[in-house]
Copies of this chain bind each other. A is one copy, B any other.
């Protein structure tokens, strides 16, 4: 029989908070919100980060079991709603008090150009994050990064014509009551509503005119975007935690403007 080194006693008397695997590439099945509020399943490219706590008496955790758990769920079409169950499986199969996981993935949404109404697919970096603690309390986080346009209010105000504008990234992480649900689709739209103007993959000339003028009519500092998104998040009664981060890749500098807000009910 092959010796189980991980199972050996450890004498340093140090429990470890998190030990596991990172950058595990997997296909992930995601529920997509349909126009009629039903959902459909779809496979996306994802990276998994998974860890458990390790009691002081064990030398190591059994890393291959994380991959086996993922594989078990792959067979059954791993879906995001399985996250709580996966975490409890991790606790059980790795004999651990705490379990943590994060699935980061690429998610496409159909966008309609604002005037021509032409469709195209836009990709968003999203993530599901979850943890279960020693009291079996489950906590879930929904994360998205939404590219938007910001146009500088100061530049507009002080210049004879024009105003500098740029691609910017609004990152939102939320947690909400476990018996409720927030769709990625809705969180992404909430972010886009805080922009000087939304971003689109496909824009014809009439659309380009529209986005240029819309951004000019809605100048926003990174501070404005943060305040607008915070206002919307505060109004949402099921959200009990949020962390928002706004970064604008300034067209007039090679550094970025940045703002950050965190809230825990």
Contact = CB atoms under 8 A, between A and B. Distances in A.
Interface of A: 2-6, 10, 12, 14, 16-27, 43-45, 49, 51, 54, 59-61, 63-64, 67-68, 71, 74, 106, 108, 118-123, 147, 149, 151-167, 197, 199-206, 208-209, 211-213, 215-216, 221-224, 226-228, 230-231, 247, 249-262
A166 to B, nearest CB: 5
A2 B45 contact: no
B45 A166 contact: no
Given A24-B201, A153-B5, A166 B163 contact: no
Contact of A14 (B20, B162, B231, B258): B231
A257 B63 contact: yes
B205 A154 contact: yes
Most interface-central of A12, A197, A262 (chain B CB within 10 A): A12
Contact of A2 (B108, B158, B253): B158
A17 B227 CA distance: 11
A106 B105 CA distance: 12
Given A162-B162, A164-B215, A260-B17, A254 B199 contact: yes
Count this chain's copies in the assembly: 4
Nearest to A234: B14
Contact of A260 (B19, B21, B199, B259): B19
A167 to B, nearest CB: 5
A5 B157 CA distance: 7
B121 A74 contact: yes
B71 A120 contact: yes
A19 B257 CA distance: 8
Contacts of A71: 118-121, 202
A255 B208 contact: no
A19 B258 contact: yes
Contact of A252 (B20, B45, B200): B200
A158 B213 CA distance: 10
A2 B120 contact: no
A257 B21 contact: yes
Contact of A158 (B64, B153, B165, B209): B209
Contacts of A261: 16-18
